[in-house]
Amino acid sequence: MQIYQRLTPIHAPQGSAVALGYFDGVHCGHRAVLGAAVECARAGGLTAAAFTFELPASSTLKGGRILSLPQKHARVASLGIEEYQEAPFDEFRALTPEDFVQKVLVDCFNAKQLFCGDNFTFGARAAGNVERLRELCAPLGIGVHIVPMAQYGGQTVSSTRIRAALEEGRLDDANAMLGTPYAIDWPVVHGKGIGSGKLGTPTLNQNYPAAALQPCAGVYLTRIYLDGQWRPAATGIGKRPTVDSSENAAVTCETFVPDFSGNVYGQQPVLEFHKYFCPVRKFNSMDELAALIHHAADESKAYFAALNGAK
Ligand SMILES: Cc1cc2nc3c(=O)[nH]c(=O)nc-3n(C[C@H](O)[C@H](O)[C@H](O)COP(=O)(O)O)c2cc1C
Ligand SMILES: Nc1ncnc2c1ncn2[C@@H]1O[C@H](COP(=O)(O)OP(=O)(O)OP(=O)(O)O)[C@@H](O)[C@H]1O
């Protein structure tokens, strides 16, 4: 997938089928929109493209990011999108709906077919909606396709609902709406050395950047991609009350990978979250904390053994 970080003409000699939106999480609704653009492009000899944008790290416009950019890109690319435009929001935020259609969709995309959900808005102050998009595109011969809104639990799937589910510890709901497990790939950083020391359970620390959405504190059954294979693991997200009782203790994200030893500092392994296991607690001793970590790791091994056995 070719990624453009500025508003640039893409490679679309026969024109393009373009999916439109922010796509944080690349959830099942987004997949339907992106997938429809890919299908249309393949059937009609067009280039499969997506128009999205990047917000400054400090922006609260859309809430904390569900996925890192590499994770977002990997998921969009896996759906078959060939050309991906991810301009800074400021490059087009002031365009009128008319200018957005001309300068972005016509000049940059050579768009022939557009795909979005019925809540898509565009142009300065989100002045354009899907009816306006249709009005502006009809005289240009550009087709506008509104993809039916994906539902979960009787309500429309949205990035906002997924953020709430992750923050409330409802990982099953978040994963069902995402259509694939929630995952992170933050760089592995050094911890305090307690894990490999007193605790006897070395942990791999992948702490969240400020702009990212942080799921609910807790212990999770996870799997991590290391040295070319998926390995069952157990992850704790929280303030580590057993080892740090200070009020403003940092929240860390630490993963114990049983039967693995290796130096992965600086790498960005993908860590998938499969089950919420239990809350983080203050234990009376390091032995009790170590027992919980081993127990969670055993549960994770059993969970993935059962999952792989069922395939
Ligand atoms: C699966 C798992 C569960 C954890 N649960 C807790 C917990 O309930 N309470 C707690 O204080 N710390 C918990 N932790 C964090 C440990 O305290 C932390 O991994 C340990 O202190 C090592 O820190 P270090 O990486 O800075 O050396 C957990 C860690 C893991 C990997
Ligand atoms: N449930 C859904 N089903 C189908 N398409 C959707 C769904 N949700 C959003 N879309 C469409 O996918 C594209 C990207 O959506 P976008 O990321 O802008 O919003 P969202 O998922 O509704 O999140 P938010 O909660 O931030 O509004 C848009 O075209 C939007 O209309």
Q: Are 47 and 17 in contact (CB under 8 A)?
A: yes
The question of ipTM being above 0.90 is answered as yes
- Atom in ligand 1 nearest the alpha carbon of residue 219: 3
Given a cut of 70, is residue 152 above it in pLDDT? Answer: yes
Averaged pLDDT for residues 78-87: 97
Averaged pLDDT for residues 142-170: 97
| pLDDT of the residue at 125 | 83
Confidence tier at 62 by pLDDT (50, 70, 90)? confident
Q: Residue 84: beta bridge partners?
A: 3, 50
User: Which of 179, 292, 284, 192 is CA-nearest to residue 242?
Assistant: 284
Task: Give me the CATH code for the 2-152 domain, please.
Answer: 3.40.50.620
Tell me which residues have their CB closer than 6 angstroms to ligand 1. Answer: 191-195, 199, 203, 205, 219, 234-236, 240-243, 254-256, 280-281, 289, 292-293, 296
Averaged pLDDT for residues 139-161: 97
Centre of ligand 1 to C-alpha 240, Å, is 6
Using DSSP, state whether 183 is helix, strand or coil. strand
Confidence tier at 59 by pLDDT (50, 70, 90)? confident
Confidence tier at 136 by pLDDT (50, 70, 90)? very high
Given a cut of 70, is residue 192 above it in pLDDT? Answer: yes
Q: Are 117 and 157 in contact (CB under 8 A)?
A: no
Given a cut of 70, is residue 195 above it in pLDDT? Answer: no
Averaged pLDDT for residues 201-222: 94
Ligand having the closest approach to the CA of 115: 2
Tell me whether strands 183-184 and 271-278 are parallel, antiparallel or unpaired: antiparallel
Using DSSP, state whether 155 is helix, strand or coil. strand
Given a cut of 90, is residue 288 above it in pLDDT? Answer: yes
CA distance 270 to 258: 16
The reply to whether CATH 3.40.50.150 applies to domain 183-310 is no
Q: Residue 83: beta bridge partners?
A: 2, 49
Given a cut of 70, is residue 196 above it in pLDDT? Answer: no
Tell me whether strands 229-238 and 252-256 are parallel, antiparallel or unpaired: antiparallel
Averaged pLDDT for residues 278-305: 96
Of 146-150, 250-254, 305-309, the range with the lowest mean pLDDT is 305-309
Using DSSP, state whether 238 is helix, strand or coil. strand
Centre of ligand 1 to C-alpha 67, Å, is 23
The residue length of the chain stands at 311
Which residues make up the CATH 3.40.50.620 domain(s) of the chain? 2-152
Of 115-119, 262-266, 289-293, the range with the lowest mean pLDDT is 262-266
Helix, strand, coil percentages, rounded to 5, for the chain: 30, 25, 45
Confidence tier at 44 by pLDDT (50, 70, 90)? very high
Neighbours of 110 (CB within 10 A): 20
Pick 132 or 194 by higher pLDDT.
Answer: 132
Structure confidence by residue, pLDDT tens digits, 89-100: 988 889 999 999
Which residues make up the CATH 2.40.30.30 domain(s) of the chain? 183-310
Q: What is the 3-state secondary structure (H, E, C) of 208-241?
A: CCCCECCCCCEEEEEEEEECCEEEEEEEEEECCC
| pLDDT of the residue at 51 | 97
H helix runs in 23-170, sequence order: 28-44, 69-78, 97-99, 130-137, 159-167
Tell me which residues have their CB closer than 6 angstroms to ligand 2. Answer: 20-24, 29-30, 32-33, 62, 116-117, 119-120, 147, 149-150, 156-160
Ligand having the closest approach to the CA of 33: 2
Tell me whether strands 16-20 and 47-54 are parallel, antiparallel or unpaired: parallel
Given a cut of 80, is residue 198 above it in pLDDT? Answer: no
